[in-house]
Amino acid sequence: MNLSLDGYIAAPGNDLRWSVPSDELLQWWSDRVHGNARLVTGDAVTEVNRLKAEDDGPMDLGGATLAAAAMRAGLIDEYAIVTHPVPVGGGTPFFTALGNWVHLNLVETRTFPDGVLVRFAWRAGLGCSFCQA
- pLDDT tens for residues 95-131? 876 677 778 899 999 998 888 888 888 765 544 544 5
pLDDT at 127: 47
Domains of the chain with bracketed CATH:
2-122 (3.40.430.10)
Which is higher by pLDDT, 89 or 18?
89
Question: Would you give the distance in Å from CA 58 to the centre of its chain?
Answer: 13
* Residues whose CB falls within 8 Å of the CB of residue 81, separated by 6 or more in sequence, listed in order: 1, 3, 94, 117, 118, 119, 120
pLDDT tens, residue by residue, 19-52:
877 778 777 767 766 666 666 677 878 888 888 8
